[in-house]
Amino acid sequence: MSKRIFQHPAESQTGKRYWRSLGQLQDSPDFRQWMQREFPQGASELEGNDVSRRGFLQFMGASVALAGLSLASCRRPLKNLVPFTKALEWSVPGKALFFTSVMPGRNGGMPLVVTTFDGRPTKVEGNPLHPVNKGSTDVWAQSSVLDLYDPQRSKEVLFGGKKADFAAFNKELDGLLKAAGDGAGLAFLTDGAVSPTRDRLRRRVLAKFPKAKWASYEPNGKDLELAAAEVAFGVGSEVVNRLDRADIVLTVDRDILGVEGDIASVRGFAAKRKVDGPKAKMNRLYVVENRYTLTGGMSDHRLRLAASRTGAFLKALSIEVAKLSGDKSLNALAGGLKATDVKFKDKWVEECAADLWANKGKCLVLAGHKQPVAVQALAFALNASLGALGKTLEVRKAVSVPTDSIASLAEELRKGSVKALFILGGNPVFNAPADVHWAEAQAKAGTVVHLSLEQNETSAKAQWHIPAAHYLEQWEDSLASDGSYIVGQPVIMPLYSGINSNELLAKVAGVDADPLVLVRETFAEVTGASGEYSAAWAKTLKSGFAAASASKTLNATLRGDAVAKAISDLPAVRLGENEFELVFIADSKVDDGRYANNGWLQELPDPVTKLTWDNAALMSPAAARKLGVDTGDVVRIAQGEKSIEIAVLVLPGHADNSVSVAVGYGRTEVGSIGKNVGVNVFPLQTTADRRFLTGVTVAKTGKRHALAVTQEHGALEGRGADLTRQATTQEWTENAENKDFFKKMGIDAHAPTNFSLYTHPPLDDVHGWGMAVDLNSCIGCAACMTACQAENNIPIVGKEQVINGREMHWMRTDRYFASEGGDEDEPEMVSQPMMCQHCENAPCETVCPVNATVHSEDGLNVMAYNRCIGTRYCANNCPFKVRRFNFFDYNQRSITDLYRWNLISEKGTPDSIQMQKNPNVTVRMRGVMEKCTFCVQRIQEAKIASKVLASDSGVVPRVPADSFTSACAQVCPTDAIVFGDIRNPDSRIAKLKEDQRGYRLLDYLNTENRVWYLARIRNPNPKMPDAARAGSASKGGHGHGGNHEHASSQNGGHA
Amino acid sequence: MANIFPRWSNWLPFKIIFCLLVLGGGVSAGVWYYLNPEYMRVGYQPSQPVPFSHKIHSGQLGMDCRYCHSFVETAAYSNVPTTQVCMNCHSQIQRENPKLQPVRDSWQTGKPIEWVQIHKTPEHAYFHHSVHVNRGVSCVSCHGKVNEMDEVYHAETHSMAWCLTCHRNPSEFIRPVSEVTNLDWKPEEGKTQHEIGSALVEQWHINPPVKNCAGCHR
């Protein structure tokens, strides 16, 4: 009898193909290696910096001998129990306490609930009561906890780079203020965080020093959008996108679902994507962009277009809309825009315009918020003509107070009239536009005081550096994007005695600098309640926000003349056929560079490019061919005298004459994590060209640079079409009655179900845990990955280890491109969160020689770390490649010290990093396997709570439906991940797993997964020229419906 | 030709093997016996900064365990009392007792008393007090007759096998919830622990994790 070898049915090579990378599309040897091996050749060798395996064994022998000499250390170390002297109210050792707070940001505050254990904040979640985020958060909020504990945070007051103290600073400050007179020599520069208390103190400061200058700068902020709103709707107005009301959305160079939007937009969009059946109405998204973004990935129709042609596109579209609506003024406005003649796909523009016009009042056009003011103003005019004003595009009184720009402040500085400059947050020396020459201007100020969380490039050039308090350390406040007032409670004393900007400003204004008093006064002003401790204050702290404070919408009308003037003032953009444009994109991880020292963010793969620990010049395959470069080749991007050298990353779906580079990399004055990671492109950015720079030359240098891209890691035999299923609304409607429509797509249409040779223990608990992932609302933002990292104590491994495929994320978001005939230019994109599928017939369990991974009766594939001996058989046998191995003691070593010999390397984690760890999750050591546990610590806590509640009552202990959830489901801004008890008929998961769209990955393997994916639905406009390409169901290689026996010979063959 | 090896060498390999077996057996037996929680942990009785006597407080005075270990019913940890709890009584009685000097010092300075930990769960195992004491597992099952100890010592092994004796057969240990902190409780006349325990296990649907590793290892 021969051994039965399972042969996977081959993927069809005809029809639409799904690919993770160009390597896969071209079937490169590198890709085959990633697919066939869990880790690349040699990844399990210690081929590191200085130690070979043989050398390592010699060292090991020595260390065993040394260990033998110190047997005394076998005694159990003495541990102390240290109770409080006086009990603290609410504090129960080992139990979590939750506080409402807020993370201030440029798009308003993110309402939060902070989890603290014994006084240490360990995790933040969204405030479930707040209407803006309803308990969800984003990547930045999740990773902000790590910023708090960053051991390289600024810890002391510095004067001229030398340690000073607050007493010395206060003395200096008094002197400065006494000499200030009417404030003519004072200047302030703040970041763009929305803070009512700071605004109030600003008024106080300006009342005391009326001639002081006040500017703000936010590199990725909405200042140009505000300027455009001012042109279109008058002074002090701002626009609010209501994607929750729009049936048809067109974005032009605006990643509204990614870094250029906010959580309200994402949630609003997702609400319109929730479908419970083929009859449900869904929104339609048209995207015009130069590179693939998350928004482009969600699009129903996508047009790739250089960012510099955004204005020309809007012009063409406006003229089409004007034709349909007969709006002469719009026609005139659009006609006024000077745009070099650009060829568009006429039919595309026509049909898009027709669709928008047909949905008048229910559609929304969004232009890039860093496009020139006139282009954005034209988009507002277009929206007005489409009846969007007041419906899908609201105009309201601006939340932030208008300030001077950084450029005008730099002018003042150059005049030498500024005696004292206060920089509150931000890092203008690093990220101000190049033509501002900020560093030079700053040097002209008499005294520069820089308040910052970290010692950065700006601190290095300031006389005084003051450590700032993290938002979790001090009383703050903010306004959510709906205008509600949120109080930021501190949850820990300032670790390094930092102060926040409110305290500093209060000192300048000469008022009581107690941050709590300052916030309470603002609270009183905003809500009209008493400033003392009151019931209203207590209520606000409990719920986290004061709802009554939502700001009023304005009844705005378009100021046609002002828009016309702005448009006529805009010079034409020229982009020659053989020229490139350079597009500055906000980074999805380090933002403008402020999060550069956050290891979680550096190691998070970019949602689209899957690049970690770097930025790169993104360009299309055609452009790369033209330049003769490939991913990893270094190119020189130059305009005039200025140039940068940066590695290329070839990205399908990119516009051909365009190169995109993320800003915020190439920091030099920063902690060890972010230092010299990537390339700084700010030197090429100018005030006039915040978004794109035309007339750029790109040339090959011949150098290579290793990029840590995870896109080919964990490839599953290339079965993209099988794993991420999708259909168009039309296909779904046609198959509305076919229960197996989505379940029998691709290989599952052919392969007979496999059978199990093993007996399995009964899964007889009252609970059964399962998860559903709705691919129709998942935008692929990777917030789940960061939440998982924070919840489950997942270490970072460093760039070198990521290149070796040793990243530790328990969860990944796979990004697939799909196209017919290997089209690299206009593929579709699908994101798929991937975690342990908790197979009931888990292949990993049967190969473990030590029973370290086994099944629990409630349906979890559990991992007992202390049994694991590290054979890695389980990872080899996992069809989903979701298991992670601790090749090194990542929790004991710094990522630069992994290869150093055990006895001479520094071990241990900084205390502050230890404080972040979730006390309910084991911190794993070297040599053990780990993987997603479905947040078993939360499951156990819920089960224990139900047992404690049942006590001796005789009630069957049962966790109530949907009473808790996993970290990834909790964070998800689109509610795409649902976790719960499949045995409880009241739970959401019990219903979702029966959904027609529900399917399980590689079902023909008979693994009986506990994760259900809900297929993606595309809603193309049948009249559009590219409508035929959308979706995949009927055009996929394998078709659908019925079990075709003809393929069974491929399956279960004998060898 | 004369023999190269003398006659006695015929037995040498067997002797060597025998000695190695004895030595190996001895080492194994030693490891098995000494490197075992039963030997390493049971009886561990470090000296505490204050010689607090459970025998006096719990045994003679009859104070309930939960007077000091107040969160045992709600939290995973059974907390060690704050100095404040000691001072509730000792600000009135035994005010001059020199043994209590560290307590008074702590109260005055605000510096906590550093008790020495006796029962320590390994880092990869998560024990939850509240789910045990609320479901009829008495303190005595894991900590022994603390009410008879002058200074607390490690009474049970706290090894995984020891945990499983109860998880596999809870009926041998479960008692009415009201009697959990009564360390001297005995099954009422005429009934055995097994009878009472079996009834309670069935009545309360007691179902401790037996094969579910994640019950304790997360």
| pLDDT at A341 > cutoff 80 | no
Q: Is residue B65 part of a domain?
A: no
User: In this structure, are A275 and A372 located in the same domain?
Assistant: yes
B131, B212, B213: residue with CB nearest A948? B131
A-facing residues of B in 47-86 (CB < 8 A) are 71, 73-77, 79-85
Closest CA to A228 of A242, A239, A217: A239
Q: Is residue A564 part of a domain?
A: no
What pLDDT does A67 receive? Answer: 45
Strand-pair partners of A613: none
**Most confident region among A526-530, A658-662, B122-126 by mean pLDDT:** A658-662
B75, B200, B207: residue with CB nearest A95? B75
Q: Is residue A272 part of a domain?
A: yes
Classify residue A1054 by its DSSP letter: B
> What is the least distance, in Å, from the CA of A864 to any CA of chain B?
6
Q: Is residue B202 part of a domain?
A: yes
Q: Is residue B191 part of a domain?
A: yes
**Cβ contacts (< 8 Å) between B77 and chain A: which residues?**
93-94
C-beta separation of B26 from B32 below 8 A:
no
CA distance B205 to A950: 9
User: In this structure, are A814 and A913 located in the same domain?
Assistant: yes
> What is the least distance, in Å, from the CA of A618 to any CA of chain B?
41
**Over the stretch A496-507, which tens digit does the pLDDT of each residue have?**
989 999 999 999
CA distance A712 to A826: 20
Classify residue A37 by its DSSP letter: S
**Most confident region among A32-41, A541-550, A769-778 by mean pLDDT:** A769-778
C-beta separation of A285 from A299 below 8 A:
yes
As a dihedral over the C-alpha atoms of residue B79, residue A114, residue A499, residue A188, rounded to 10 degrees, the angle is: 180
Which residue in chain A is spatially nearest to B121 when comparing CA positions? A79
A6-15, A477-486, A748-757, A835-844: least confident range: A6-15
A49-58, A442-451, A654-663, B133-142: least confident range: A49-58
| pLDDT at A911 > cutoff 80 | yes
pLDDT-based confidence at residue B28 (cuts at 50, 70, 90): very high
Q: Which of A340, A375, A397 is the last residue of a domain?
A: A397
Query: Are the Cβ atoms of A86 and B84 closer than 8 angstroms?
Result: yes
Domain count, chain A: 5
Q: Is residue A817 part of a domain?
A: yes
Closest CA to A926 of A948, A905, A942: A905
Query: Are the Cβ atoms of A84 and B40 closer than 8 angstroms?
Result: no
CA distance A604 to A518: 37
HEC-encoded secondary structure of A316-329: HHHHHHHHHHCCHH
Which residue in chain A is spatially nearest to B127 when comparing CA positions? A920
Q: Is residue B135 part of a domain?
A: yes
Query: Are the Cβ atoms of A940 and B214 closer than 8 angstroms?
Result: yes
pLDDT-based confidence at residue A494 (cuts at 50, 70, 90): very high
Q: Which of A109, A129, A148 is the last residue of a domain?
A: A148
B71, B204, B214: residue with CB nearest A92? B71
What pLDDT does B1 receive? Answer: 63
pLDDT-based confidence at residue A781 (cuts at 50, 70, 90): very high
**% of chain A beyond a pLDDT of 70:** 89
User: In this structure, are A649 and A755 located in the same domain?
Assistant: no
| pLDDT at A512 > cutoff 80 | yes
| pLDDT at A44 > cutoff 80 | no
Q: Is A30 helix (H, G, I), strand (E, B) or coil?
A: helix
User: In this structure, are A457 and A478 located in the same domain?
Assistant: yes
What pLDDT does A73 receive? Answer: 47
What pLDDT does A558 receive? Answer: 85
| pLDDT at A50 > cutoff 60 | no
What pLDDT does A79 receive? Answer: 86
What pLDDT does B100 receive? Answer: 92
Residue A302 dihedral angles phi and psi, to the nearest 5°: -135, 135
Query: Are the Cβ atoms of A856 and B130 closer than 8 angstroms?
Result: no
User: In this structure, are A165 and A207 located in the same domain?
Assistant: yes
Q: Is residue A811 part of a domain?
A: yes
B112, B122, B131: residue with CB nearest A947? B131
What pLDDT does A47 receive? Answer: 46
Tokens 């939360």: give the residue. A938
Average pLDDT, integer, range A471-482: 90
| pLDDT at A511 > cutoff 60 | yes
CA distance A805 to A39: 6
User: In this structure, are A778 and A890 located in the same domain?
Assistant: yes
Average pLDDT, integer, range A1013-1032: 84
**Cβ contacts (< 8 Å) between B197 and chain A: which residues?**
none
Which residue in chain A is spatially nearest to B177 when comparing CA positions? A952
B112, B215, B218: residue with CB nearest A84? B112
What pLDDT does A1031 receive? Answer: 65
Range of the domain at B155: 120-215
Mean pLDDT of chain A: 85
CATH number of the domain that residue A308 is part of: 3.40.228.10
CATH number of the domain that residue A209 is part of: 3.40.50.740
Which residue in chain B is spatially nearest to A851 when comparing CA positions? B213
Query: Are the Cβ atoms of A944 and B113 closer than 8 angstroms?
Result: no
| pLDDT at A66 > cutoff 60 | no
Domain count, chain B: 1
> What is the least distance, in Å, from the CA of B178 to any CA of chain A?
9
**Most confident region among A550-554, A606-610, A760-764, A1027-1031 by mean pLDDT:** A606-610
What pLDDT does A1049 receive? Answer: 33
Q: How many CA atoms lie within 13 A of A123 on its CB side?
A: 25
A376-385, A804-813, A821-830: least confident range: A821-830
Residues in chain A: 1055
CA angle A166, A172, A176 (to 5 degrees): 140
| pLDDT at A999 > cutoff 60 | yes
User: In this structure, are A863 and A991 located in the same domain?
Assistant: yes
User: In this structure, are A347 and A481 located in the same domain?
Assistant: no
- Chain A, chain B: beta-carbon pairs less than 8 Å apart: 144
B81, B112, B135: residue with CB nearest A947? B135
C-beta separation of A126 from A137 below 8 A:
yes
User: In this structure, are A974 and A915 located in the same domain?
Assistant: yes
**Cβ contacts (< 8 Å) between A957 and chain B: which residues?**
205
Range of the domain at A426: 158-217+403-549
Q: DSSP characters for chain B?
A: ---SS-GGGGGHHHHHHHHHHHHHHHHHHHHHHHSSHHHHTTT--PPPSS---HIIIIIIS---HHHHSTTTTTSSS-PPPPHHHHHHHHTTSSTT-GGGHHHHHHHHH-PPP-EEP-----TT----HHHHHTTT--HHHHH--GGG-SS----S---HHHHHHHHH-GGGT---GGGTT-TT--PPTT--HHHHHHHHHHHHT----SS-GGGT--
Average pLDDT, integer, range B181-206: 91
Average pLDDT, integer, range B142-164: 91
Mean pLDDT of chain B: 91
User: In this structure, are A998 and A918 located in the same domain?
Assistant: yes
Q: Is residue A27 part of a domain?
A: yes
What pLDDT does A16 receive? Answer: 66
Average pLDDT, integer, range A374-399: 89
What pLDDT does A11 receive? Answer: 57
What pLDDT does A69 receive? Answer: 44
What pLDDT does A56 receive? Answer: 45
B112, B126, B214: residue with CB nearest A82? B112
**Cβ contacts (< 8 Å) between A85 and chain B: which residues?**
82-84, 106-107, 110-112
Q: Is residue A72 part of a domain?
A: no
Q: Is residue B207 part of a domain?
A: yes
Q: Is residue A921 part of a domain?
A: yes
What pLDDT does A948 receive? Answer: 94
ipTM of the complex: 0.90
Average pLDDT, integer, range A499-517: 90
The reply to whether B185 touches chain A by the CB within 8 Å rule is no
User: In this structure, are A602 and A540 located in the same domain?
Assistant: no
User: In this structure, are A1004 and A905 located in the same domain?
Assistant: yes
Q: Is residue B33 part of a domain?
A: no
| pLDDT at A58 > cutoff 60 | no
Q: Is residue B205 part of a domain?
A: yes
**Cβ contacts (< 8 Å) between B75 and chain A: which residues?**
92-95
Task: Calculate Rg over the CA atoms of chain B.
Answer: 25
**Cβ contacts (< 8 Å) between B84 and chain A: which residues?**
84-87
**Over the stretch B70-110, which tens digit does the pLDDT of each residue have?**
999 999 999 999 999 999 999 999 988 999 999 999 999 99
**Cβ contacts (< 8 Å) between A950 and chain B: which residues?**
204-205
Q: Is residue B147 part of a domain?
A: yes
